[in-house]
Amino acid sequence: MTDRAAQLAEELHSAGVTDVACALVLGSGLSSLTERMEVRARIPFSELPSMPGSRVPGHAGEFVFGMLGGVATLAQSGRVHLYEGWEVASVVRSVRAFAALGSETLLLTNAAGGMHASWPAGTLMYVVDHLNLQWRRPRARRGTTGPYSASVLEALRHAAAARSIPHEEGVYAGMLGPGYETPAEIRMLRSLGADAVGMSTVCEAVAAWDAGLEVGAVSCITNPAAGISDGPLNHDEVVEAGRRAGARFCDLVEGFVQLR
């Protein structure tokens, strides 16, 4: 763990975050999960000297700690991105801190563009692997053939089956952003084996795995990627689609946390 990540963990601990069992990162439009928590502490990024601030619409920019389904859970509502100008170490600082706070599991979530015409907006995709096309990678002491935990994936499957929540599974392509991809770029990504595309997650997954966490990720398909549909893409629609998928997403994550 870096000195800044250790400092962030100390700041969160001083703000009331202790004995975390499971940690979450909530992407665009997905912060409604915190409404289900029995909140013990709500800490804006701005109150933590070691935490970079998020400037993306739809990202609350706070940590929420409390009980979710009877499990001590730390939810990071919003994230910081490489395209905002942050270095990789800043983007992954919080997930490295989660391990120091006791968490053994991290579930990353994101809003993503889907590459299959048969996947409507609101589809939930479990990430089984990723393509890091951000051309950045956090320092990792461990080699990896893939940071995503088989046990986390199995828990997600069980949580979905118990609640009759449909889902897909696939490969997430992480792009640098901040602009949406062109139709030609989407064709390229499909040829590389990607099923969804976004601008986050890949560096966080590698850093969390390096910190010893069991890592999983869920993409909420909020829009068809460029060239899959004829309409223009915009961030407001991404956030709104995430909110519309909120109930199923929250049911899934709450069920998952109870299994961890």
CATH of the domain at 204: 3.40.50.1580
The verdict on whether 13 is a catalytic residue reads no
Catalytic residue among 9, 81, 180, 225: 81
Catalytic annotation on 200?
Answer: yes
The active-site residue, picked from 199, 208, 226, 245, is 199
Question: How many Cβ atoms sit within 10 Å of the Cβ of residue 50?
Answer: 19
Per-residue confidence (pLDDT) for residue 82, from 0 to 100: 94
Domain that holds residue 35: 3-259
Backbone angles phi, psi at 107, to 5 degrees: -110, 115
- Residues paired with residue 217 on neighbouring β-strands, in sequence order: 108
Q: What is the pLDDT of residue 64?
A: 98
- Pairing type for strands 196-198 and 168-175 reads parallel
d(CA 93, CA 52): 9
Q: What is the pLDDT of residue 246?
A: 77
Q: What is the pLDDT of residue 76?
A: 97
Task: Please report the pLDDT score of residue 102 as a whole number.
Answer: 95
Place of tokens 């990504």: 189
Predicted local distance difference test score (pLDDT) of residue 138: 92
- Residue of 23, 28, 97, 254 marked active site: 28
Catalytic residue among 77, 194, 223, 226: 223
Distance CA 1, CA 11 (A): 15
Number of structural domains in the chain: 1
| Separation of alpha carbons 239 and 193, rounded Å | 26
pLDDT at 224: 76
Per-residue pLDDT, 242: 63
- What is the C-alpha to C-alpha distance for residues 253 and 187, in angstroms, rounded to an integer? 31
Structure pTM? 0.93
What's the pLDDT score for residue 140? 81
- Given a cut of 50, the residues of the chain with pLDDT beneath it are none
DSSP 57: T
Q: Report pLDDT for 31.
A: 85
CA 259 from centre of chain: 19
pLDDT (0 to 100) of residue 143: 67
